[in-house]
Every structure is written in structure tokens, then in C-alpha cells.
């Protein structure tokens, strides 16, 4: 496999992205990593390992840059990395850069899967029982009910092939668990998803997300973004408050030192970087989106996701699943 | 003040509601508590304190009962308690029962404030810097932009009068902080709120909610519900994982015992019951909504919120604020 890595994208680019790419090159010694970016970014490394090559991209799409600029930035690292997939010079892209730019580059160059109105961004997030997927988490702030149906179909394939769940439990994110709870969008989507052969477990609430009892959480990109970031903020605030409390006295500090391994374990359990990233769902190619703040570890794991998608024929399985549902 | 307490509403009704009402009767010795419910509920208490009276309600609106039933349940505790406010036999209602039923009883009997399309439910929630208010959190799953503007106006008055913030910082809950981020609803509401004299600090994300740097968070009831419940779920999951880690070995157990006070402090900091409840915003009367799982402590604090609203002339201040904005 040939994985094009956008070394210019991300808050910690290029250093951490390159570090992660080099880790991945060791881990996947029989695969090829292609670093795409500015020459000066890789200069400090010196000689690249045998299975790492470099492709120059003169430009960069900044993290908060308007996505419309991409049409004028065809020398940007994300555009070129995606173009390589389109032209058969690479098999997949990995980027921690602007998600909107990555989505635009993929949609415009690789195209959408037939039957998918709008591609979605999925996020694999940690729960008490392992990683689960939520989609959409940002690409589509306003959705139509049939889009949520498509998200359910795509999330199902993802959970089967990448998370290894035989019969993924699919739920709609709503403001109550009863079937009559929801807004106009989710109420209509509920009816549609219920009629499929999916293992649909109905409406679930924000408080159920981390239970691990839902494999695929379906939502519009606005709600999904709010749910994920609320969880992230809650973790942060809680740890901050706890830390302040644990350093208040000598006795507490000693006790805190004794329980430190438990905190470290916890930190690892809730570490998004373990999951690396998730592919854009609904485009005709593998383009793995990483969190903007990804460090090397996340990039390394994101390459693993890309390899996994390729080995499992993810895109064609997705295409078949969507086509099958359309026929029913 | 005369506070009508719906002793039949809530997961822990009637015992905990009565316990909280009795605590409030002691705390507000010069005010009157009116317990509204079934006679058998108060029987175990024996003689009621001098400032507590009882009014019979034969019926109850169950927690998950369809709100449309309320028209056939005019003997229910929430209907009767609200009716007492309407007819001048009480000054405020407190209930931990079905929020939808409480909202319906208030809207139908007390009526809306002029200029308010739909009343909202606000929730005061704990942050690292104290309680802040979010609205709407459940009454209106689908909103129009002008409703969010009204929520902002009402939240502003609430934060000034009840939370004691001179110039409340008002934010829109969105999927990004930039002004161009959002869905159709929030993008339109942004334009409207920006044109008011409110201290509008723009879009904020889920991860900002617990910072304490936003006094009033404005959102539709669907998103607000998802944000709050996601935070609740994150706290629960984190504490569960931490607890499992802290009991894994004898050393950790000893350490955990030493840091227990820090955990207890934390638990108190994130305790929703400290805030009791929040009044329905936009109805012509004071009807304080408590969490369904409220214990006595929450009810006691909710009575304090009701007293505070009455002392501060909350409803008329709200009416004036909305009317003033309309004229501009």
C-alpha cells in the first residue's frame, strides 16, 4: 500500500506528522509512506527510510482558512496528496489539516459514492468498552432525513469492517429515548432507518454515548460536533478540578502519587489518539481525517486505519451497501 | 411568599419532594409552603409545620406520560398547583415532575409573556467558576431564529437577577467559534442577537460550556439537551472508569482513601442539586422546573430560586426586557 501523508496539515505540523509517518514506516515496513509537503519541512530529518518518499507541495491550506480557497490552491499539500490517489500514485491519504479542505479535495477529485448526497466525517471515540463511531461530526451542519439514513448505512459498514463488530447497533442521537422524541429531522430519519435491515436500536441520548452500548451513533454534523466537544470539555474540566483538589494538602499529594497509575490508565482509555482517525465516508477513495491536534501517535494509528480500509476493500463494500439499500 | 410544591412529581416523589419541602419550610420560616398531592403521600409525616399547608390533588401526570393527557387531568398535582398561581392562592410553583406537563400547565393557565413565541426551559449547571444558565434545554426541539433571540433576552434577565451577573456574557452554542460557523438556525440567530444591546460574545463550542466564561448559553432545545446530557454522561463514565482503576490494588485503595476528600469536593462542585432548578422562561408566572431525579436538597434549593424570582420581580422584569427589545 502507498499512503500519502499530508505533512503540512495539523496544529503540530510538520514535526509531529513527520514523526508519526516515520513510526508508521517502521510499523508497516512492507508498505510505502509518501510525505507530501514543503522540502524545508523534511530537511532536518536527513536521509529518509527506504519505504518513505517525498513529493513536493509548495502550498498549504491553513487550519482556519476558508475552504473556498482550495480551488486557488492546487499546489497545496492536501490537494496534491488527494490528486495522487485520484491518479493512482497513492492508495490513500492521511491528513490532520483542515477537515473542510480535506473533504473538499476528496469530493472534488475522487467524487462521491453513487447514492450518497453528501459525504460525512466519522469520528471514532473512546468509550468504557472500546472505540465506537459517530457520524456526521462536522461536515454537514444542516441535514435532510435521507442523509441520516445514508450515514447509518455507511457507519454500519465502517463498524463491521474496521471496528470488527458483526452486527453493529445503530442509534439516532436524540433528546430522549422514546420513538416520539426528537426534532423534525430525527423523527423523519427514524422512520427511514427503521425500515432498513440495519440493527437499529432507536433513539439514544447524550448520556448514553460513552456507555459502549451503541456501535454507530447517527446525527447531523451540528449535533454531533456539539456532543463530542461537550464530552471533551467535560473530561477536561473534571480533570482540572480534580487536579486542583489533589494538590491541596501534603496528605492528598501523597495519596495522589499512589493512585497515579490509575490516572494514567484512565488517560489512555480516553485518548482519542489511540484511534488515529476515521476515513471520509462516501467519497470514492480512502482519505483518513485526523484531529487537528494530532501528535505522532495519532498519525501512526491513522496510517493503520488507512491500511485497514484498503485491505478490507472499504470503499467498494460501502458502495455495494449503499446500492443494495437503494434497491430494497 | 406562598410556594406550591407538586409533591407527586419526580422520580423520588413523594418522599424526597416532601423532605425538601419541609427543609425549605424551615429555611424560609416566614414564607408558606403548600404541598399539592394525594393525602396518602403526606400521611406518614403526621402534623405539618405551621407554615406548611396541604391541598389535595387526586391525580398525577406520570414522568413519561404524553403531555396531551394534561387536558384530561385537571385534577393532577401540577395542574392544580399551577392553577393556584393563576387564581392568586399561591405565588409560585415548584415541580420535579414531567417538564412537558409543567410547561403545558403553565402555558395554558398562566399564558405567555407578550412577544415570546414559545417559553423555554433554562438549566443552571455547574462550571469551574459557578453556576451558569443554558436555554433552551428541551422545550423546543425545533426553533426559529427569533426564538433564539428571545432566549438570549430572557437568559440575560435571568443571569442578572438570579445569578447576579451585572453584564451577562451571552453566547450561541455552535459547531465552531467563528461567526461563519453554525447551521442555518444559528447563523440567522447570530445576525439578530448581534444587533441587540446584549453583551453577545458570539459562537461557542461544546468544549467551552464548563469554562465558566459564558453566563448565558443560547441554543435550540434539541442541541441543548444533547450538550447537557453529553456532559452528564462524560462525568459519569469518567468517574466509573476512575473508580474501577482506584480499586485495582491495595496500594491504590490506600491512596484513594487519602484523596477521598478531593473526590467529595469535586462531587459537590458538579452537583446539579446545588442549583435546585430554573423557572420556565416566558410564562406569566413563576414555575420552577427541577430535574426529574431531584432529591430533597434540590427541592429545597428550587424553593430558594422561586423566592428569589418573586423578590426580584422576575416576570415583570422579563416582560419589560422583551418589550424594550421589540421597540428598538
Question: Is A327 within a domain?
Answer: no
Chain A's closest residue to B257, CA to CA, is: A255
What residues contact residue A316 under an 8 Å CB cut-off, 6+ apart?
none
Q: Report B:1-60 residues touching A (Cβ under 8 A).
A: none
Q: What is the pLDDT of residues B305-316, one digit of tens each?
A: 999 999 999 999
Taking the CA of residue B147 and the nearest CA in chain A, the distance in Å comes to 15
Any chain B CB within 8 A of the CB of A267? no
Question: Is A317 within a domain?
Answer: no
Do B99 and B14 reside in the same domain of the chain? yes
Q: What is the pLDDT of residues A103-126, one digit of tens each?
A: 999 999 999 999 998 999 998 888
Q: What is the pLDDT of residues B129-183, one digit of tens each?
A: 888 999 998 779 999 999 999 999 999 999 998 889 999 999 999 999 989 899 9
pLDDT band at B61 (very low <50, low <70, confident <90, very high): very high
Q: Do B229 and A251 touch (CB under 8 A)?
A: no
pLDDT band at A175 (very low <50, low <70, confident <90, very high): very high
In percent, the amount of chain A with pLDDT more than 90 equals: 71
Question: Is A277 within a domain?
Answer: no
| Alpha helices for A195-284 (secondary structure H) | 221-246, 250-258, 260-269
Using an 8 Å CB-CB cutoff, list chain B residues near A128: 237, 240-241
- Cell readout for B55 is 391541598
Q: What is the pLDDT of residues B32-44, one digit of tens each?
A: 999 999 999 999 9
Chain B's closest residue to A65, CA to CA, is: B178
Q: Do B236 and A207 touch (CB under 8 A)?
A: yes
**CATH classification at residue A44:** 3.40.718.10
> pLDDT value at position B273?
78
- What is the rounded end-to-end Cα distance, in angstroms, of chain B? 35
Do B292 and B242 reside in the same domain of the chain? no
> pLDDT value at position A61?
95
Using an 8 Å CB-CB cutoff, list chain A residues near B226: 173, 175, 205-206, 223, 226-227, 230
Do A160 and A242 reside in the same domain of the chain? yes
Q: Do B229 and A206 touch (CB under 8 A)?
A: yes
Which has the closest alpha carbon to A289: A45, A143, A82, A22? A82
Q: What is the pLDDT of residues A308-320, one digit of tens each?
A: 999 999 999 999 9
Any chain B CB within 8 A of the CB of A313? no
Domain count, chain A: 2
Averaged pLDDT for residues B56-77: 92
pLDDT band at B49 (very low <50, low <70, confident <90, very high): very high
Question: Is B39 within a domain?
Answer: yes
Out of A251-265, A273-287, B159-173, least confident range = A251-265
Question: Is B255 within a domain?
Answer: yes
Do B251 and B292 reside in the same domain of the chain? no
- Cell readout for B189 is 440567530
Using an 8 Å CB-CB cutoff, list chain A residues near B177: none
The larger pLDDT score, comparing residue B120 to residue A128, is at: B120
> pLDDT value at position B139?
78
- Cell readout for A287 is 482519505
Structural domain boundaries, residue B209: 118-274
Do A76 and A102 reside in the same domain of the chain? yes
Do A179 and A268 reside in the same domain of the chain? yes
In percent, the amount of chain B with pLDDT more than 90 equals: 71
Do B203 and B79 reside in the same domain of the chain? no
**pTM of the predicted protein model:** 0.89
Do A110 and A148 reside in the same domain of the chain? no
Do A102 and A12 reside in the same domain of the chain? yes
Q: Report B:169-208 residues touching A (Cβ under 8 A).
A: 173-176, 178, 182-184, 186, 205-208
As a whole number of angstroms, the distance between CA A121 and CA A283 comes to: 10
Q: Do B221 and A175 touch (CB under 8 A)?
A: yes
Do A147 and A47 reside in the same domain of the chain? no
| b/e sequence A141-179, b meaning 16+ C-beta within 10 Å | bebebebbbbbbbbbbbbbbbbbebeebbbbbbbbbeee
Using an 8 Å CB-CB cutoff, list chain A residues near B258: 251-252, 254-256, 258
> pLDDT value at position B246?
84
Taking the CA of residue A275 and the nearest CA in chain B, the distance in Å comes to 18
Using an 8 Å CB-CB cutoff, list chain B residues near A204: none
Taking the CA of residue A128 and the nearest CA in chain B, the distance in Å comes to 7
Q: Do B259 and A261 touch (CB under 8 A)?
A: no
Which has the closest alpha carbon to A202: A228, A170, A224, A234? A170
Averaged pLDDT for residues A70-78: 94
Any chain A CB within 8 A of the CB of B68? no
Which has the closest alpha carbon to A209: A273, A124, A269, A145? A124
Q: Do B183 and A222 touch (CB under 8 A)?
A: yes
> pLDDT value at position A129?
83
Averaged pLDDT for residues A132-142: 90
Q: What is the ipTM of this complex?
A: 0.88
Averaged pLDDT for residues A258-274: 78
Dihedral angle of Cα A180, A185, A188, A192, to the nearest 10 degrees: -120
Where a domain ends, among A223, A241, A272? Answer: A272
DSSP A187: H
Question: Is A289 within a domain?
Answer: yes
Using an 8 Å CB-CB cutoff, list chain B residues near A206: 225-233
User: Looking at the predicted structure, is the pLDDT value of residue A327 above 90?
Assistant: no
Taking the CA of residue B246 and the nearest CA in chain A, the distance in Å comes to 6
Write the secondary structure of chain B as one string of H (helix), E (strand) and C (coil).
CEEEEECCCCCCCCHHHHHHHHHHHHHCCCCEEEEEECHHHHHHHCCCCCCEEEEECCECCCCCCCHHHHHHCCCEHHHHHHHHHHCCCCCEEEECCCHHHHHHHHHHHHCECCCCCCCEEEEEEEECCEEEEEECCCCCCCCCHHHHHHHHHHHHHHHHHCCCCCCCCEEEECCCCCCCCCCHHHHHHHHHHHCCCCCEEEEECHHHHHHCCCCEEECCHHHHHHHHHHHHHHHHHHHHHHHHHHCCCHHHHHHHHHHHHHHHHHHHHCCHHHHCEEEEECECCEEEEECCCCCHHHHHHHHHHHHHHHHCCHHHHHHHHHHHHHHC
Q: Helices then strands (H, E): number in chain A? A: 11, 11
User: Looking at the predicted structure, is the pLDDT value of residue B54 above 80?
Assistant: yes
Mean of the per-residue pLDDT values of chain A: 92
Q: What is the pLDDT of residues A188-213, one digit of tens each?
A: 999 999 999 999 999 999 999 998 99
- Cα B75 to chain centroid distance, Å, stands at 24
As a whole number of angstroms, the distance between CA B200 and CA B98 comes to: 32
> pLDDT value at position A277?
87
Question: Is B146 within a domain?
Answer: yes
- Cα B327 to chain centroid distance, Å, stands at 29
Q: Do B206 and A225 touch (CB under 8 A)?
A: yes
Do A92 and A131 reside in the same domain of the chain? no
> pLDDT value at position B259?
82
User: Looking at the predicted structure, is the pLDDT value of residue B230 above 80?
Assistant: yes
Mean of the per-residue pLDDT values of chain B: 92
Q: Do A231 and B226 touch (CB under 8 A)?
A: no
Where a domain ends, among B229, B257, B274? Answer: B274
Q: Do B226 and A229 touch (CB under 8 A)?
A: no
pLDDT band at B8 (very low <50, low <70, confident <90, very high): very high
As a whole number of angstroms, the distance between CA B85 and CA B17 comes to: 19
The larger pLDDT score, comparing residue B84 to residue B122, is at: B84
Any chain A CB within 8 A of the CB of B87? no
Integer CA distances (angstroms), A110 to A69, A106, B77, B118, in order:
18, 5, 61, 46
DSSP A90-110: -SEEEE-S-HHHHHHHHHHHT
User: Looking at the predicted structure, is the pLDDT value of residue B266 above 80?
Assistant: no
Do B205 and B294 reside in the same domain of the chain? no
Using an 8 Å CB-CB cutoff, list chain B residues near A186: 222
> pLDDT value at position B328?
65
> pLDDT value at position A328?
65
CB–CB contacts below 8 A, A to B: 201
Of A183, A242, A251, the CB nearest to B258: A251
Residue A72 CB neighbour total at 10 angstroms? 9
User: Looking at the predicted structure, is the pLDDT value of residue B195 above 90?
Assistant: yes
Q: Tell which of A139, A214, A233, A271 to mutate to test the B interface (max B CBs under 10 Å).
A: A233
Question: Is A129 within a domain?
Answer: yes
Taking the CA of residue B21 and the nearest CA in chain A, the distance in Å comes to 29
Amino acid at each position: 500500500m502507498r499512503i500519502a501523508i499530508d505533512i503540512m496539515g495539523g496544529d503540530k505540523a510538520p514535526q509531529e506528522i513527520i514523526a508519526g509517518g516515520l513510526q508508521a514506516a517502521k510499523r508497516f515496513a512492507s508498505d510505502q509512506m509518501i510525505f507530501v509537503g514543503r522540502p524545508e519541512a523534511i530537511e532536518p530529518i536527513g536521509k529518509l527510510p527506504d519505504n518513505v518518499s517525498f513529493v513536493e507541495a509548495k502550498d498549504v491550506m491553513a487550519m482556519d482558512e476558508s475552504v473556498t480557497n482550495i480551488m486557488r490552491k492546487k499546489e497545496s499539500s492536501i490537494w496534491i496528496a488527494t490528486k495522487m490517489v485520484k491518479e493512482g500514485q497513492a492508495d490513500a491519504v492521511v491528513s490532520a489539516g483542515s477537515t473542510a479542505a480535506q473533504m473538499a479535495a476528496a469530493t472534488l477529485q475522487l467524487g462521491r459514492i453513487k447514492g450518497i448526497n453528501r459525504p460525512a466525517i466519522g469520528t471514532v471515540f473512546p468509550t468504557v468498552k472500546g472505540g465506537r463511531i459517530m457520524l456526521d461530526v462536522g461536515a454537514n451542519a444542516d441535514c435532510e432525513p435521507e442523509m441520516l439514513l445514508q450515514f447509518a448505512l455507511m457507519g454500519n459498514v465502517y463498524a463491521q469492517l474496521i471496528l470488527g463488530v458483526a452486527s453493529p447497533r445503530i442509534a439516532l442521537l436524540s433528546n430522549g429515548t422514546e420513538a416520539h422524541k426528537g426534532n423534525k429531522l430525527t423523527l423523519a430519519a427514524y422512520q427511514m432507518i427503521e425500515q432498513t435491515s440495519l440493527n437499529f436500536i432507536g433513539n439514544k441520548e447524550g448520556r448514553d454515548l460513552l456507555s459502549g452500548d451503541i456501535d454507530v451513533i447517527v446525527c447531523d454534523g451540528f449535533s454531533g460536533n456539539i456532543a463530542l466537544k461537550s464530552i471533551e470539555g467535560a473530561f477536561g474540566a473534571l480533570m482540572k478540578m480534580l487536579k486542583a483538589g489533589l494538590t491541596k494538602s501534603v496528605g492528598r499529594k501523597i495519596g495522589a502519587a499512589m493512585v497515579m497509575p490509575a490516572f494514567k490508565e484512565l488517560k489512555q482509555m480516553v485518548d482519542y489518539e489511540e484511534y488515529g482517525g476515521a476515513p471520509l465516508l462516501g467519497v470514492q477513495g480512502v482519505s483518513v481525517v485526523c484531529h487537528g491536534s494530532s501528535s505522532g501517535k495519532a498519525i501512526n494509528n491513522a496510517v493503520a486505519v488507512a491500511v485497514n480500509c484498503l485491505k478490507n476493500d472499504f470503499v467498494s463494500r460501502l458502495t455495494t451497501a449503499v446500492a443494495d439499500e437503494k434497491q430494497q
